[in-house]
Structure 1
C-alpha cells in the first residue's frame, strides 16, 4: 500500500513539475525574469534531487547563534561529532551524520557537504535507516560564507528543523528573514524550542504558546512546537521519534519538492499580477462584436466608403453611357470613371495589386492605431497586468505592415466593376430603334420638303389619328428616347445602390481578412498562451 502511495505521490509531483515548467516557458518574455529564474532553479533542484538517493532523507538543523543547535544535534544523534564551544560561531562547515551510508555519497556531493560521519545505532531514531542529519552554520552568522551555506542548504534539505531558544525565539529578524519564507513547507518542518531548562517550570508552556502564536502569523500554524533541552535530555526522545517518523514515511523528499513548486508557482502568479485588485482573471477573449468593431474602424481608416462611392458613381456613369439617349450619351465619355482613377477597374482578366487611394498619413495611421487599440483593450479585459500588456502588444505586432495589407485587400476585392446589368442592352437596343424611327421620320419629312421646294409633285403621306406618319415617327422616337433616358436614370440609381452595397460587403470582408491575419490571430494566440499559462500555474500550485 505504501509503495502505491509513493508511486501516486511521485506521479503527482512529476505532473506538477511539468506544469511549472510549462508555466515558466509560457511566461518567458512576459513576466519578471527573477520569478522565471526562481522557477527554473526549483526545477533544476528538483531534477537533481530526484536523480539522487530516494532511500535517504536529509534533515537539516537550522538555528541562530546561541540557540544550542549543535548541542541538540549531538544529543539527537547520540554523538559529540558537532563542535560545541563558548566562542561563536561554532559551526563553520556543515557536518553530516549518515545512517546507511551506501548510496549517500552523490547526494552529499550535491549538498556540498564534505565532512561526513557514520552514525551508530540510536534507539528510536535509526530503526528505519536512510537518515542524514546535518548540523549547519548559524543562519544569522556574522560570517557571510556561513550564512550563505545555511541559506543554500535550506533550499536543498528534505526536512527543516528550526531550533530557537527562549532568549531569541521572538526575534523578528529570525522569523521574517528565515522562517517565514518557508511557510509553505509546513509538511516538512519541525520547530524546536531548545534550552527549556533555563526556564522556570511555569514559564515553559506560556513561552511555547507564544512561539506557536508567532509561527501562526508566519503561516506555520499547523506546525507543532516541541520543547527540548540538549543539556538535560528533556524532549530529545520525542524529537528523535518525530524525525524517525518522517524518515520512515518516505514522503519528505516529495513533500519538500511539492512545497518548492507551490512557492515558485505562487511567485510566478504574483509576477503575472494574480494578486492585483482588479483584472486578475482570464482575458475576455475575441468575440464577434470585437471583430466587427475592428473591421469597421479599419475600413474607415482605409477610405472604404470612398471606394463604395466610386463604385456607385461608376455604375451610374456606365449605365448612362450604355442606356442614355444616343444623341447626348456621348457627352458622358468626357467624365472620368472614378474606379479607373483609383486603379480599381480591372481590364480584362488582370488583377489589381495596389490602389491609387491616398497613402496612410498621420490621420489615417492614427485611425488604424485607435481601431487596433480599442480592439486590444476590449479582448484583454480581465487579464492580469503583464498578460494584458502582452495581448495588446500582440495585436500591434504587424502595425507597420497593416496599411499595405489593407490597401491590397481593397485592391483585390471583386467590385463587379466590369459586370454589365441585364437591362443595359435592352434599353440600348430600344434607344437605337427609337432613334432610327425618329431619323427615318425626319428623312421622310426632308424628302417631302425638298420636293415641295423644287415645285415637284408631293405625294400624299399616310396619316394616323389625323397626324402625318413621318411627324408621328419623329415625335415617337424623340419621346421614347427621352423617356427611356429618364427611366434609366432611376433604374441606374437603384442598381448603383445595390452594386455599392455589394462592394461595401466585399471590401469589408477583405479588410476583415487582413485584420484577422495581422491583428486578431496574433492576439488570439497570445490569449491562448495566457490561458495555458494560468492552467499550468493552477496545476503546478496543486
Structure 2
C-alpha cells in the first residue's frame, strides 16, 4: 500500500472512531462518570481540533500553542516575537480570555475556515478589550515566517474554569507545545501534569523559562532539564529569558533571539517541521486506542448499572406477582366481604348447618335461594371483583415502592427517579387498568362456563343457576385453598369452596371442574403478568431515556480495532 493510500485508510479509520465517540453517551450518574465524560470530551476535541485536520492537511502550517501558568508572560512573549501588540497583556488576571492565533498573511486561508478548532468562531481586527467567549481572534503578522503560527492560549491554571478547559483543548490542537513558565513557578504541579500528558502522547514540547534572575540561571536551568528528563521529555529544548525591564510592554529582542531563530528554522526547514509534526501526530494517533478504551470501560459501567436497575425492577414485580399468586390460593380472597356476600347468595348463615350431603339437595337449596333472591349474585360478583382488584393493586403499589427503594440504593437510580417523579407512585390510570383487567377476567370466566356447557344436558343444568352464578362458583373454587385462614374462617370458607365445587361437579364432572379452575387461575395470572409488565415498562422507559445504547462499548471497540489494523 502506498503512502497516500495509507493516509487515506488512516483518515477513514480515525473518522469512524470519531463518529463512534461522538455518538457515545454516558448519561447515568455512576461513580467515575464525570471523569469519563470529561475524557470523552477531550478525546473528541482532539480528534476534531487536531488529529483529523492534520491528517487531512499534512502540509498546513505548523501550529505552536503558547501555554503556561497565570502571569508567566505568554502574551508578552507572543507580542515580542511578532513585534506588535496582538495579544492583551497586563497585571489584571486573567488577561487572555479568548485565544489569539497569529499567522503570516499568506497562511490566512489555513485558519479562516473551520479546518482546526471548529467549535470556535473566527474574529479579526484589534483586541478591543472585551471578552468574546467561544471565539479565536486571527491576527496576521509579517514578522512570522510562512509555515508557522502561534496561538496564545488562556492560563492553564486560570481561576475561570472555562479558561482552564479551553487552554487544555488548545494544547491538544497543537503540533508543538511552547510552554512558558518562570523561575519562581517552574516546579508547580499543574503544568507538570500537562507536561506528563504531553510525554505520554509523544507531543513535541519546548520550554520557555521566563524571568530568570541572571545569577540563578546556572542553578535553575539544569534543575529544570533534570525534571524534564525524569518526566520523559529529555529532548525538549529550553529557552531561557532573563529578568529584564520591558520596552513598551515587550521584551528586548536580544533576550529571545535564540527562541525566534529556532521558530523560524522550524518554519523554513521542511524536514525539521515534518519531524515535529510527525512526532506529535503519531503520538496523538497512537494515544487514541488507549483513550477510547477508557470510553469503552465507562460504557460498560453504564450498561452494568442499567442492567442492575432493570434486574431490580424485574425482581420487585416478580415478587409482587408471586404474592398475587399466593393470595389467589391461600384463602385471602374468601375472607370478609366475599364471605358475607356468599351467605346472602345462598340464604343465611344457617344454610351451612342445614345443608345435607347430597349434591341434589345442595343444588336444590341453592336453586331455590337464587330464585328467591336474584340480587345477591350481583353483589357477590362485585365482592369478588373488588377483592381481586384490591389484591392486584396492593401488590402493584408494593412493587412500585420496592422498585423505587431499590433504585435509590443503586448507581444511577436516584437521578432517573428525580428526572421522572411520577415513577414513585402508581398513577390513577393504572388503578383503572386493574379494574378493567379484573372485569375482563370475569367475562372470560363466564365465557369459559358457556364453552364448557355446550351439551344440551349441561346447558339445562347451567340454566338452573344462570351462567353468571356458575361463573361465580368457578371463581370461588379457583380461590379455594384455605391455608391462610384461621379459626372460624376455615370452616366457613371451606364450606363455601366445597359447596361451590360440588355444584360444579354435578354439572361438569370433577375432572372438568379441576381443569376449569386451573384455567381460570392461570388466565388471571396471565393478565396480571401483562398488567405488571406494562407498569414495569414505566421504569424501564424512564431508564432507557437516560441510558447509552446497549452496543455502545462494542461499537467503539470495533472502531478502535480497525484503527489499530491500519499501517502507519
Kept in 2: contact 1:380–1:391 (CA 8 A): no
In 2, Cα distance between equivalents of 1:180 and 1:538: 32
1:111-510 equivalences in 2 (<5 Å): 112-118=136-142, 121=145, 129=147, 131-136=148-153, 152=166, 154-156=168-170, 158-159=173-174, 160-172=177-189, 179=194, 186-188=201-203, 190=205, 192=207, 194=209, 199=216, 201=218, 204-210=221-227, 225-230=236-241, 231=255, 244-245=273-274, 248-249=277-278, 252=281, 255=284, 282-283=307-308, 285-286=310-311, 292-297=318-323, 324-325=360-361, 328=365, 330-333=367-370, 340-341=378-379, 343=381, 356-357=385-386, 367-374=395-402, 384-385=412-413, 389=417, 399-413=427-441, 414-415=444-445, 416-420=448-452, 425=457, 496-510=513-527
For 2:322 and 2:83, the matched residues in 1 are separated by 82
Number of aligned residue pairs = 445
1:335 and 1:417 map into 2 onto residues whose CA distance is 22
Any residues of structure 2 matched to 1:55-74 within 5 Å, and which? Answer: 55-64=60-69, 67=72, 69=74
Q: Distance in 2 between matches of 1:515 and 1:66?
A: 64
- 1:137–1:526 Cα change, 3 Å: closer
Q: Distance in 2 between matches of 1:281 and 1:329?
A: 57
Deviation at 1:134, TM superposition (A): 2.3
Separation of aligned partners in 2, 1:14 and 1:112: 25
Could you tell me whether the CA contact under 8 Å between 1:57 and 1:252 is conserved in 2?
no
Gaps of 5+ in 2: 114-120, 124-134, 242-254, 347-355, 465-501, 561-568
SS of 1:505's partner is helix
Instruction: Indicate whether 1:103 and 2:116 are aligned.
Output: no
SS of 1:167 mapped into structure 2: coil
**Contact preservation (8 Å) 1:164, 1:194:** yes
Q: Distance in 2 between matches of 1:149 and 1:226?
A: 27
Looking at structure 2, the residues matched to 403 and 66 of structure 1 have their Cα atoms a distance apart, in angstroms, of 67
1:526 is aligned to 2:543: yes
SS in 1 for 2:428: coil
Alpha-carbon distance change, 141 to 532 in structure 1, aligned in 2, over 3 angstroms = closer
Q: Matched residues in 2 for 1:201 and 1:487: separation?
A: 109
**After superposition, what is the alpha-carbon deviation per residue over 1:395-419, rounded to whole angstroms, capped at 9, x for unaligned?**
6686432222122222212222445
Contact 2:30–2:411, Cα closer than 8 Å, also in 1: no
Report deviation, 1:508: 0.7
1:530 alignment partner, SS class: coil
Query: 1:302·1:364 contact (CA, 8 Å) conserved in 2?
Result: no
d(CA) in 2 for partners of 1:488, 1:374? 42
User: Whole-Å Cα distance in 1 between the matches of residues 234 and 389 of structure 2?
Assistant: 67
Q: Specify which of 520, 531, 535 is matched with residue 552 of structure 2.
A: 535
Shift of 1:505: 0.6
Contact 1:9 1:254 in 2 (8 A): no
Contact 2:68 2:156 in 1 (8 A): yes
CA RMSD of aligned residues (A): 6.4
Cα 1:376/1:148, change in 2 over 3 Å? closer
Q: Is the 8 A contact 2:65 2:150 kept in 1?
A: yes
SS in 1 for 2:386: coil
Q: Deviations over 1:440-466 (max 9, x none)?
A: xxxxxxxxxxxxxxxxxxxxxxxxxxx
State how far apart, in whole Å, the 2-side matches of 1:355 and 1:228 are: 91
CA distance in 1, matches of 2:83, 2:550: 51
TM-score norm. by structure 2 comes to 0.54
Look up the match of 2:131: none
Find the aligned partners of 2:66 and 2:261 in 1 and give their Cα distance.
16
> Against the structure 1 CA distance between its residues 3 and 400, is the aligned structure 2 distance closer, same or farther, given a 3 Å change threshold?
farther
SS at match of 2:184: coil
Larger radius of gyration: 1
Give the helix-richer structure, 1 or 2.
2
Residue 94 of structure 1: how far off its partner (Å): 3.3
Counterpart check, 1:27 vs 2:32: no
User: Do structure 1's residue 511 and structure 2's residue 528 form an aligned pair?
Assistant: yes
CA shift in 2, pair 1:418/1:21, >3 Å: same
| Structure 1 position 61, deviation (Å) | 0.6
8 Å contact kept, 1:17–1:43: yes
Change (3 A) 1:423 1:95: closer
Give yes or no for contact 2:201–2:284 (8 Å, CA) kept in 1.
no
**1:489/1:141 Cα in 2 relative to 1: closer, same or farther (>3 Å)?**
closer
Contact 1:290 1:379 (8 Å CA) reproduced: no
- Equivalent residues of 1:138, 1:150 under 8 A apart: yes
- For 2:187 and 2:437, locate their aligned partners in 1 and report how far apart those are by CA, in whole Å: 71
| Greater mean deviation of Cα atoms: 398-407 or 223-232 | 223-232
Between the aligned partners of 1:528 and 1:138, the Cα distance in structure 2 is 38
